[in-house]
Structures are given as C-alpha cells and as structure tokens.
Structure 1
Amino acid sequence: MTTLEQLSQTTSQLQQTIANEFSALDLAALNYKPAPESWSILECLEHLNRYSRYYNAALAKAITHNADGNYVPSITYSWLGKKSLDMVRPQNGKKHKTVKHMNPANSALGPATIEEFLKHQQDLLQLLQAAKNTNLNKKAIPVEFFKLLKMRIGETLEFVVTHQDRHVQQALRVKQQAVVKAAA
C-alpha cells in the first residue's frame, strides 16, 4: 500500500469515527471539558478545522501547480517535515502549545463544527487522489505560522492526516470522560 493510499484510508476512518462517535451526542456532551484548560470534543474539531482551512487550500494550490505527471510514490522528509510529524504523532504524549489563532478554547461551537470537519475530510480525500499526479517531494507548502518555511507536498499531507488522528483520539478520550461523568 502506498503512502497516499494509507493516508486516504486513515482519512476515511477518521471521517467514519466522527460520524459514528460524535454526530448523535447532545451539545452538552460535545462541549464537555474534563478540566478548565482542556478542550472539548468540538474544540478539538475546531482546532483541526482551522488547520484544514489553511492547509487544504495550500495543498490544492501546490498539487494543481505541480500536477505534471511526475509522480514520486515515496516521500523523502526534510528536517522540518520529520520534526513536525514527530510532534503531532498520536503516540507522542507530550502536550504542545498551539499558536493563539489556532487555539479554539472557549469558542461558542455547535454541530456545524462537525459538519465542517466532515467536509474538510471529503476535500482532503480529493486532494490525496489528485496528489497521485504530483511529485510528493516538491517543497511547495508554506508552514501556516511561519510562511518563509516550506514543507514538501507529501510530508504536508502526512502531517495533516497525522495531526487529525492525534486530535480525534483526544476527542474520543474526552467523550469517554463525558460519558463517565454523565453516568455518575
């Protein structure tokens, strides 16, 4: 299985998880916070929506401009790509501060946040499909918070999917805590 196929499979699984696990929850459960400084389920998803608003557009532009049929199936990683991926891997339990404009803490959020997330997943699946005609090792994606640095198309796709996986797992942990609290 190629990296793009793996990323597409993970994206589809995340989409199903969100639809199955969160769509039927009431607003109180979706906004439940295990601690004041923690994020709710909707805040986890809003954080990802904010990243998707930037990276989906940047990826679409880069893929369109580099869709010359010179597909390179394997991704080579820059130091920035490796560092970014290591930071967002779900198994990296270390908490990281997010940049202020990407922090959704205390936002007024509702079910539209879930709908937007699912729409971004559809867009991402289309980008992953379109990337099959692209040199994945082309440095073309400006880093959101420091646009002078650029990541490669392939490592950016992997970063986006891995970052989403990390925060969907976080949202699932919040759901477990909300269910326990509601049962108590």
Structure 2
Amino acid sequence: MTPSDFLAALHTAVADLRATAHTQFAALDPALLNQRPAPASWSILECLEHLNRYSRYYNPALAKALAKSGEATASSSEVGYSWLGRKSVEMMRPANAKKSSTLKHMNPLGSRLGAEVLAEFDQHQARLLELLDRARTADLNRKTVPVEFFRLLKLRLGEALEFVVVHQQRHVQQVLRVQATLRAELAC
C-alpha cells in the first residue's frame, strides 16, 4: 500500500473512533460508564483509560519520531514491516479473537474514573489525527519508535502508527460489546 493510501486509511479509522466515542459513549450515565459486565472485566471507562495510557506514551513518541524524520524525505515505496511490527499489528487487529494480557501499569481495572477519561480520549484522537497529517512528509519505513514495554526495540514509523490505530479499534469494539451487554442486562 502506498504511504498516502496507508495514512488515509488510518486517518479515516481514527476519525471513526472519535465519532463513535462522541455518539455512543459521551451521553451515557456515569454509573453505566463505570459498570463492569463481570468482576474481572473492564468497564467502558476502564477500556478507554487503557487506551489513554497507551496514548500518553505513543503520541509523544510518534511526535518525536516525526520531528526527527524532518531530516528524511517521504518515501514513495510501499509501507514495509519488520517481523516485530507485523506480529504486533496482527496481534492487535480487532479480527484477532485471541485475548491478550496487558502490562500491570496499563491495566486500569479498579481505577476510579469519571467523564474526564472521555475528554482525554478525544484529545488523544485529535492529536493522533494531527500526527497522521504530519506523517505525510515522513519516511514511514524508518525504525524510530521505541516499543512501550521494551524501549530498546523499535518499530518503523508506519508500523507504530498502525499498531496504535488497530489497538484502539480493538478496544473500542470491546467497549461496544460491554455497552451492549450492559444494555441487555438493563432491559431484563
């Protein structure tokens, strides 16, 4: 896929995630936002807080990589993948039904959360859209983004952008499932 098509697809996906949060979650009652479908499951706000925690790391890391890529020129070659990048993206794709465990510091289970989580999520999405726009002039195949859990490993800029987006898609789908479960319970 060409870099412009790749970035356009990611931009559309992030805009859709942002719209879903506005239309599906913003008007929900705070009690419902914090209700878990099961004791060990995340609530709607816990899912979004998990994404906020990742965004707090990856948005600045992506911005730093983009600032450094000012020295490089945009590549017209297809977006490439390393073994680590391909594995990371495929593991997080929403279609991958295999459950993953999260790192302890990224697990919001039991956190006291309020509407500020939704506002922060929206801010992170707006920032990610800006970063995707800036990436149009960058070489997406340069390895410049350290992996959050082991910073000696680096992803290519394109891989990191896609990883962040598919990770968010995966958890927003989780939020929609939580919401559907809670609504079904309320209807009974």
* TM-score, with structure 2 as normaliser: 0.96
The number of aligned residues is 184
Identity %: 54
Q: 2:107 aligns to what?
A: 103
Whether contact under 8 Å (1:51, 1:102) holds in the other structure is: yes
- Does residue 21 of the first structure (1) align with residue 24 of the second (2)? yes
Please list, as runs of the form range in 1=range in 2, the aligned pairs for 1:150-165 lying within 5 A after superposition: 150-165=154-169
SS in 2 for 1:136: coil
Shift of 1:122: 0.3
Counterpart-to-counterpart distance in 2, 1:161 and 1:177: 24
- Cα distance, 1:110 vs structure 2: 0.7
Asked if the contact 1:86–1:92 (Cα under 8 Å) also holds between the matched residues in 2, the reply is yes
Matches within 5 A, 1:62-141: 62-68=65-71, 70-73=73-76, 74-141=78-145
Large movers: runs of 4+ above 2 Å? none
Residue 5 of structure 2: which of 2, 10, 26 is its match? Answer: 2
Structure 1 spans left out of the alignment, 5+ residues: none
Structure-2 separation of matches of 1:147 and 1:59: 13
1:32 to 35, 38, 54: 35
* Alignment pair present for 1:181 and 2:185: yes
Aligned to 2:152: 148
AA in 2 matched with 1:76:
G
**Would the alpha carbon gap of residues 54 and 10 (structure 1) be closer, same or farther in structure 2, given more than 3 Å must change?**
same
Residue pair 1:67, 1:135 contacting (<8 A) in 2 also: no
Counterpart-to-counterpart distance in 1, 2:70 and 2:132: 12
Q: Deviations over 1:120-143 (max 9, x none)?
A: 000000000000110000100110
Contact 1:32 1:174 in 2 (8 A): no
Structure 2: tracts of 5 or more residues without a match:
none
Q: Please state whether the residue corresponding to 1:135 is helix, strand or coil.
A: coil
Q: CA deviation at 1:28?
A: 1.3
Whole-Å separation in 2 of the counterparts to 1:12 and 1:127: 13
> Alpha-carbon deviation of 1:69?
5.6
Cα distance in 2 between the residues matched to 1:111 and 1:94: 30
Cα deviation for residue 68 of structure 1 reads 3.6
- Provide the aligned C-alpha RMSD in A: 1.0
1:47 matched residue in structure 2 = 50
